[in-house]
Amino acid sequence: MAEPLRKEDPIVDPLDLPVEDPLLDPEPATDRPLRWIGTPFRRVDGRAKVTGATRFADDLTFPRMCHVKLVRSRIPHGTIRSIDFSAAEKIPGYLGSLTGADTPIPFGILPVSMDEHALCPDRVRFVGDPVAAVAATTEDAAYEAALAVIVEYDPLPTIASVEQAIATPEPRIHEYGDEGNLHKKISMRFGDVEGGFAAADRIFEDLFFYEGNTHLPMEQHATVAVPEDDDRVTVWSSTQTPHYLHRALAKVLELPASRIRVIACSNGGGFGGKSDPFNHEIVAAKMALQLGRPAKIVLHREEVFYCHRGRHPVTMRMKTGVTKEGKITAHHLETALDGGAYGSYGVASTYYTGALETVTYEMPAYQFDGLRAFTNKPPCGPKRGHGTPQPRFGLEVQLDKIAVALGQNPADLRLQMLVPPDTITANWLKLGTVSLDRCIEAVVAGSGFRERWGNLPEGRGLGLACGSYLCGAGLPIYWNHMPQSGVQLKIDRSGCVAVFCGEAEIGQGSDSVLAGIVAEVLGVDLSDLRLCVADTDLTPVDLGSYSSRVTLMMGNAALQAAERARDLIAKAVGDQLEVPADRLVFAERRVFDASDPDKGLAFQDAVIAAEARFGTLGTVGSYIPPRSPGKYRGAGVGPSPTYSYSASVVEVEVDPATGLWRPLHVWIAHDIGRALNPVLAIGQVEGGVYMGLGEVMMEEQAFRRLPRHLSNALVHKFPSMLEYKSPTFLDMPPVTTYLIEDPDPQGPYGAKEVGQGPLLPILPAVANAIYDAVGARVDQVPIHPHMVLKALDAKKKGAEPRYGPKTFPEADYGETLIVPTPAQGGDGTAINEFRGKLRSGMRGVATGTMSTRDEALRQKKALTTKLEDR
């Protein structure tokens, strides 16, 4: 009798694990038609969602639950002189309050910019910045009490724009940052850019502007904190990143992480707006512990606009050199980001505005200069595409101008310079599969682009554009050597397979990806699985739903856990039936001999055999991305196991008399690697198209000054769902979606991302279509009718038929990092970077420049990844 297994496979350093390639090493015995993968099965949370049974955070109630509301700053910049709760305390039902003095420990999603406090201790930095919190027995009383709190401020000068931030180094909005009110400055040069421009036949220079916009999830942020035992607390929250929230709570509450449990409820939409740890989440936890009773906090819609963390407004200056055949010789991109009042993901966002510029078209020499300014507005952060839609808009519109100037069809221009698969770009990004050619051909054929572009009657036009996005950030938010996703399976004699994973379902279908993969490998039905997700006490860490990482990273971890379980069960069944384990097939809820299908066991009986043989069954799978070849400072933003690609043609109708335009049809092709569930994948594509159209048609996170006789304060122009325009049922044109499958070995079953990529080509395709329709360029988004009219006016006067930014905020980006490209024989490092011990041990991650005092503290503090020490 074989020895029972005492423990799982020995733990292997994840960095040494070979990349599993299900395509190259198919298991012969399990070679059978796929049952779930590639089929449009009903999403596993579908029934709960259509019956109203899904419990979103605000649907939760607990005994004695109290309600908490925040008091927010009414001025854009100033110091707090006094906070008076005396009127609030008299409100019947009032229970207690918190101020910044109660939340002195700073936090923030990025270790390099932990510049937030749950409640402002002394300074407020935008209209909406939380300064106090009150709790009461009812929500009405909490609202009344919050309104009754009197806060006195001493105003400071307001900084409203990037230009103003550059011109106003003092007073500083924050006491850290690269210079004055510039949070971050970046300058990197890859290859011989000067030589590239000298070798060009033509050089094109353009300015673009991409207005900020916000996620507008249908569900407002909500959190319920429930104290337990003597010193434990459970925090239920609408968050995309329970793990990062967990770390932030441990830091700010000064409790061991093991005493804090974060459960991410199903998000009613996230799109990046629920990936920071938030003021309201910390306040709810603190209030619950202080009062000894569950505390719920829900943001009303106006507050969601202040919470924000949305798309940065970016001004871009783009210079491209091309040969007369249309090959790029050099590219220089400058971006200026309006960051708002806090860091959030902003340092990463700034790097992202430059990082993916090289992954679609061959670009031998590339310079990127970027800066992020602090301003007294709600902080910007990650929104679907995270810093890449802005430069993608500029690049795809500029390429359209280049095509017209060179007399080439925009599709052919791109096709002849596509980056080959499996190459390393000038900025050291390792690419995987690239099926952008098939994407372009699909939308070109579907729309009749080659025949109709340039040939439609006045007022009708077609525009083409492409895009690319990563499949998960290659590095975690905080540096560590641990897996980025983990899945555990518990299988017992009932035949039920319990699947544990820290992933957070935000509507994108991650629960269904997890279930589909496990059910596929084990040959069971989806209803044989029980998912336990997004619970920091119970589930292994998954870093969260951001950067389109979940399908690839969680999927690979799930594959590993399920294959280990399958192998264990196969061993037991094989011995029992006297069949070689590798001839066993797991399908249709059975385990049977491939050469004699009647010889087998029901899955439940197979588990019983394994449980009897090996004891209680449990397996683990984990995933960590491959190391990136880039080693220079800043190389940590951009790498990914692989990249998705999209191409789109949009047909528009423009009225030259009014400038009014509307999209008539969208063709979109997405290089998805493998559609694990095509109906869900199409949902993501159509949702991305919708959101891209919203941004180019109407969405604006814009600000205005109140009249001087009121306060002259800088306030949000449209903090409601009526005024902040988003598309309705009536605004969406027909969408034709092509899912292009070219399996990538990095992804589970070859799958790449689909949640963010399809948004990217939409905006430039629209701008290019408007040009095709009326011969006018609008080099900014959203494209309002008056902009089209102004461009047409210029055209009539014989001036350049363009509307767009005329100036670029000039600033000094600091010393330029010089990084030789792979073609130049580089090794991924910069030649002028200090090669000693990298600051804070954060290899490849931008550290920014802290003030001298903070830097001294950092270097003294021992490097640790223990949550308790953060």
Partner 1 sequence: MDNGWTSLIFDVNGEPRAAVFPTHHTLLEVLREELALPGTKHGCELGECGTCAVLVDGRPILSCLALAADMKGKKIETVEGLQNGNALHPLQQTMADLGAAQCGYCTPGILMTAKALLAENPSPSDGEIRAALAGNLCRCTGYHKIVEAIVGAAALMRGEDWVAPREVLYGAVEPGGAASSAPTSPPASAVLHLVPNPGDVGALLAAPPSAPGTPPQSEG
Give residues 504-523 in contact with partner 1 (rule: CB under 8 A): 506-509
Pairing of strands 182-190, 366-373: antiparallel
Q: Binding of partner 1 at residue 446 (CB under 8 A)?
A: yes
Q: Binding of partner 1 at residue 718 (CB under 8 A)?
A: no
Q: Binding of partner 1 at residue 662 (CB under 8 A)?
A: no
The residue among 51 and 852 lying less far from partner 1, judged by its C-beta, is 51
The residue among 576 and 726 lying less far from partner 1, judged by its C-beta, is 726
The residue among 56 and 153 lying less far from partner 1, judged by its C-beta, is 56
- At position 331, the amino acid (one-letter code) is H
Q: Binding of partner 1 at residue 47 (CB under 8 A)?
A: yes
Which of 269, 326, 432, 848 is in the footprint of partner 1 by CB under 8 A?
269
Which of 373, 429, 521, 675 is in the footprint of partner 1 by CB under 8 A?
675
Which of 71, 402, 740, 791 is in the footprint of partner 1 by CB under 8 A?
740
Shortest distance (Å) from residue 524 CB to partner 1: 11
What does the alpha-carbon distance between residue 404 and residue 35 come to, in Å, rounded to a whole number? 48
Rg, C-alpha atoms of the chain: 27
Q: Binding of partner 1 at residue 532 (CB under 8 A)?
A: no
Q: Binding of partner 1 at residue 22 (CB under 8 A)?
A: no
Which of 9, 19, 32, 50 is in the footprint of partner 1 by CB under 8 A?
50
Can you state the angle between helices 389-406 and 762-774, rounded to 10 degrees?
A: 30
Shortest distance (Å) from residue 505 CB to partner 1: 8
Buried b vs exposed e over 149-160: b needs ≥16 C-beta within 10 Å? bebebeebebbb
Q: Binding of partner 1 at residue 735 (CB under 8 A)?
A: yes
Q: Degrees (nearest 5) of the Cα angle 47, 272, 297?
A: 75
Part of the chain binding partner 1 (CB under 8 A), chosen from 321-329, 387-395, 725-733, 793-801: 725-733
Q: Binding of partner 1 at residue 26 (CB under 8 A)?
A: no
Q: Binding of partner 1 at residue 665 (CB under 8 A)?
A: no
Which of 165, 442, 696, 778 is in the footprint of partner 1 by CB under 8 A?
442
Shortest distance (Å) from residue 675 CB to partner 1: 7
Residues 624 to 643: which contact partner 1 by CB under 8 A? none
Q: Binding of partner 1 at residue 144 (CB under 8 A)?
A: no
What does the alpha-carbon distance between residue 533 and residue 504 come to, in Å, rounded to a whole number? 7
Which of 431, 462, 739, 819 is in the footprint of partner 1 by CB under 8 A?
739
Which of 352, 393, 661, 738 is in the footprint of partner 1 by CB under 8 A?
738
Q: Binding of partner 1 at residue 268 (CB under 8 A)?
A: yes
Q: Binding of partner 1 at residue 48 (CB under 8 A)?
A: yes
Q: Where are the beta strands (DSSP E) in 108-220?
A: 123-124, 130-136, 150-155, 182-190, 202-210
Contacts of 383 (CB under 8 A, 6+ apart): 213, 214, 215, 271, 272, 273, 309, 310, 311
- Which residue carries 């249908």 as its tokens? 218
Residues 91 to 120: which contact partner 1 by CB under 8 A? none
H or E segment at 793?
Answer: helix 785-796
Pick the closest to residue 666 from 731, 733, 729 (CA basis): 733
Q: Is residue 191 within 8 Å of 182, Cβ to Cβ?
A: no
The residue among 92 and 171 lying less far from partner 1, judged by its C-beta, is 92
What does the alpha-carbon distance between residue 359 and residue 342 come to, in Å, rounded to a whole number? 30
Q: Binding of partner 1 at residue 41 (CB under 8 A)?
A: yes
Q: Binding of partner 1 at residue 46 (CB under 8 A)?
A: yes
Which of 10, 18, 52, 707 is in the footprint of partner 1 by CB under 8 A?
52
Shortest distance (Å) from residue 523 CB to partner 1: 13
Shortest distance (Å) from residue 39 CB to partner 1: 6
Number of residues that bind partner 1 (CB under 8 A): 83
Pairing of strands 780-781, 202-210: parallel
Q: Binding of partner 1 at residue 410 (CB under 8 A)?
A: no
Which of 736, 829, 840, 865 is in the footprint of partner 1 by CB under 8 A?
736
- Which residue carries 């793990």 as its tokens? 243
Part of the chain binding partner 1 (CB under 8 A), chosen from 211-219, 254-262, 535-543, 828-836: 211-219
**Beta bridge pairs of residue 619:** 489
SS3 call for 462: strand
The residue among 281 and 741 lying less far from partner 1, judged by its C-beta, is 741
The residue among 224 and 789 lying less far from partner 1, judged by its C-beta, is 224
The residue among 270 and 382 lying less far from partner 1, judged by its C-beta, is 270
Residues 677 to 706: which contact partner 1 by CB under 8 A? 678-683, 685-687, 689-691
Q: Is residue 527 within 8 Å of 512, Cβ to Cβ?
A: no
What does the alpha-carbon distance between residue 771 and residue 227 come to, in Å, rounded to a whole number? 59
H or E segment at 233?
Answer: strand 232-237
- In the chain, what are the helix, strand and coil shares in percent, each to the nearest 5? 30, 25, 45
What does the alpha-carbon distance between residue 651 and residue 324 come to, in Å, rounded to a whole number? 28
- Which residue carries 């409100």 as its tokens? 91
Burial of 490 (0-12, 13-18, 19+ CB in 10 A): middle
Q: Is residue 348 within 8 Å of 385, Cβ to Cβ?
A: no
What does the alpha-carbon distance between residue 813 and residue 821 come to, in Å, rounded to a whole number? 21
Q: Which two tokens stand for residue 24?
A: 């190259």
Q: Binding of partner 1 at residue 711 (CB under 8 A)?
A: no
Q: Binding of partner 1 at residue 730 (CB under 8 A)?
A: yes
Residues 828 to 867: which contact partner 1 by CB under 8 A? none
